[in-house]
Amino acid sequence: MKLLLVDGHYYLYRSFHAVHGLRNSSGQPTNALFGFAKALLKMLDDLKPSHGAVFWDAGIPHERLHLCPAYKQNRPPMPSDLKLQEPPARNLPTLLGLQSLSLPNYEADDLIYAYASSAPPTAETFIASADKDILPLISPNCKIYSTNKADLPSPNSSYALLGEKEIHAKWGVPPHSIPELLSLTGDASDNIPGVPGIGPKTATTLLNQFGSLHNLLQNLDQIPNPKLRSQLTNSKNQILTNLQIIRPHPPQYLPTPFETLALSPQPEKLHNFFQTWEFHSLLNSPPKNKKLPNPTPPPAQGYLPLQFPSS
């Protein structure tokens, strides 16, 4: 089994900011939807999964809000042009053969964690997301799929698979220690406060020196710098709360059984979808290299090239 798990909102937002000014003949914005379709098609071509799903945020687990009422409250609302494209984007994965899943009061990364950690031992799992909270899932059988330029192994590569070695080199700690690292530094993107004066470099040094957050907090008297020791001592409760917030909060049950994640593309409906949204350049790019019937010639004015930012 090759399992592909995608963070839907991450790639939809990414596409919205990567493709500019694209609209159909009716004037509807289509930039995010077009970029999202290209991204999913590329994943399917690169990885050739047998099973897969796209997950969507549908609220925040109550436990996180209880621990941190300000969690993610610093994020702006979805832009109106993007909001118009979200419903068709949620429908697109099913036409490509992927499940499109969400669960009330859960974030996409919690559902990704639930499926990845429940996958059969022999499964190869690929996670398409930039969420730091899921990095502890990385193992010999589970890797991050990335098209960020900074992650590519060579200039000729179009994607990278980040395993334990790559994540360790990128963060300075092994994947399982990343929640502990973020508990010390905080996470501004999620509005989680860190220990004053402690950045990634200091946090990495401390975790590598003591081996774990537990050992660090149990041995604060061994830190020679009095200011640093005082900062950690005064922030101990906040650090432990941060760890509870950052750790996954998977649901008690999977929204749909694993068997339903087997890819089952719908080429004719996908063809109609691309025609409806005037994505003429995608009509010959369905999953599994099956050409769609009766492709429409591309319009005289070509579409903008898809260029994702490096981060």
Q: What is the mean pLDDT of residues 84-109?
A: 96
Residue 160 has a pLDDT of: 96
Q: Would you say residue 97 has pLDDT above 90?
A: yes
Sign of CA dihedral 18, 5, 91, 105: negative
Query: pLDDT for 7-39, tens place per residue?
Result: 999 999 999 999 999 999 999 999 999 999 999
Residue 71 has a pLDDT of: 83
Q: Would you say residue 297 has pLDDT above 50?
A: no
Residue 285 has a pLDDT of: 64
**% of the chain with per-residue pLDDT over 70:** 91
Confidence bin at 286 (pLDDT 50/70/90):
low
Q: Would you say residue 304 has pLDDT above 60?
A: no
Residue 277 has a pLDDT of: 96
Reference 206, options 198, 75, 120, 40; nearest CA is 198
Query: pLDDT for 42-79, tens place per residue?
Result: 999 999 999 999 999 998 888 888 888 888 888 889 99
Residue 287 has a pLDDT of: 54
Q: Which residues of the chain form CATH 3.40.50.1010? A: 2-171+249-289
Q: Would you say residue 289 has pLDDT above 90?
A: no
Mean pLDDT computed over every residue of the chain: 89
Q: What is the pairing mode between strands 2-7 and 51-55?
A: parallel
Confidence bin at 292 (pLDDT 50/70/90):
very low
Burial of residue 202 (CB within 10 Å: 0-12, 13-18, 19+) is middle
Q: Would you say residue 301 has pLDDT above 60?
A: no
Contacts of 80 (CB under 8 A, 6+ apart): none
> What CATH topology corresponds to 2-171+249-289?
Rossmann fold (3.40.50)
Query: pLDDT for 162-177, tens place per residue?
Result: 999 999 999 999 999 9
Residue 66 has a pLDDT of: 84
Q: Would you say residue 242 has pLDDT above 80?
A: yes
Residue 294 has a pLDDT of: 39
- Residue carrying the six token digits 């494209």: 85
pTM, rounded to two decimals: 0.88
Tell me which architecture the domain covering 175-246 has in CATH.
Orthogonal Bundle (1.10)
Q: Which residues of the chain form CATH 1.10.150.20? A: 175-246
